[in-house]
Each structure stands twice: as C-alpha cells, then as structure tokens.
Amino acid sequence: LDDTARLERLDELGLLMIEQPLDHRDLLRHARLQERLATPLCLDESVDCVDRAEDMIALKSGRILNIKAGRVGGFTASLAIHDRCREAGVPVWCGGMLESGVGRAYNVALASLDNFRIPGDLSPSRRYWERDIVEPQWTMSSDGLVRVPRRKPGMGVTVDRDRVEDLMVWRDRVGAS
C-alpha cells in the first residue's frame, strides 16, 4: 500500500475502475485500498472460484468483478458468481482469455446476463484467428456490439469440423480394450 497516494490521485480522472492493482492473493489489502479510493477496484485474478468471490464481497475488496469463465471453473461457477454478485450489488463484466469461437459462444451467452453491466472483453473472430473453428464467425457491428445468437439452438454457432481437422496436429483414440 506504499503507492496509495498515487492511486488516490487517479480518483480525479473519473475512471470507471482500476483493475487488480495489488497482488491477486491479497484480498485484505485490496479491501484497505478500496476504503481509501472513490474509484472502484475491479478484481480479476483474485477471484478464481465461487469461494473467492464470496470472500471478495465479504471483505469489500472491490466494487466490480471481472468474470472469466475459464479461470473461475466454467459456466456453472460463472453463473453462481454472477448471481452472488448481483445479490451483493457488485456489477460484473466478462473478460476474455483468447478463446476460440466455442469459448466465445459461452462468453457471449454469459455476458448477456443482467448483472453484466460493463461491456465485456469480447471481440470478433478475426481479431485473433485467421479463421475460427465455428460458423458463422463471430463479428462485431459498426457500433461495437457482438450479437447474442438467439435464432439457433445450443451455442448459436456450429463447430467447423473440417477446420478442426486442418488444425489438428495429433490425435489419439481412447477406448475399452
């Protein structure tokens, strides 16, 4: 907390948040810092499961949470964290971890929930992939939106099995002997 005075000066800028300013393991210091700042702290790496989200809320370690489904234990854990944060009045946003189109489908669905109040870290397939492994490819509208596919069942996209085959470098079959 030696740099608290510097961080307090950031309050003058009217920032939306300061993300993960301290060691991710230290929820208590985040709570002490949050007490001194008007700018909300957003925790990210600190919350890797439902219990850590509960701890963050109880300690008031931050006022915003970045949920990354791949980090917190998947979609079920993400939903539980979302619901608990909603109950506690802690807004969330969806962070990305360079997912393929399959992972992006889950992030888009997750980010459509009511307590995701801050634009997510979602982008079109072409930002990271020459050609994604899903059809249709994820796109972004001119106004910066990634649309939730509502007219197709399941994920809203289909895995392009030919593309997966093209990218495969090794295959092994496991079965009963």
Query: How do residues 46-89 score in pLDDT, each as one tens digit?
Result: 999 999 999 999 999 999 999 999 999 999 999 999 999 999 99
In terms of Cβ atoms closer than 10 Å to its own Cβ (0-12, 13-18, 19+), residue 110 is buried
Exposure of 50 in the CB half-sphere (CA atoms within 13 A): 12
When divided into structural domains, the chain yields a total of 1
Task: Tell me if 41 is assigned to some domain.
Answer: yes
Task: Tell me if 156 is assigned to some domain.
Answer: no
Task: Tell me if 3 is assigned to some domain.
Answer: no
The pTM (predicted TM-score) of the whole model is 0.90
Parent domain of 84: 11-123
Concatenate the DSSP letters of all residues of 163-175 into one string. HHHHH--------
Task: Tell me if 112 is assigned to some domain.
Answer: yes
Query: What CATH number does the domain containing 78 carry?
Result: 3.20.20.120
Query: How do residues 88-99 score in pLDDT, each as one tens digit?
Result: 999 999 988 888
Could you tell me how far CA 114 lies from the centroid of its own chain?
14
Q: What is the mean predicted confidence (pLDDT) over 158-165? A: 96
Task: Tell me if 23 is assigned to some domain.
Answer: yes
Task: Tell me if 132 is assigned to some domain.
Answer: no
β-bridge mates for residue 19, sequence order:
42
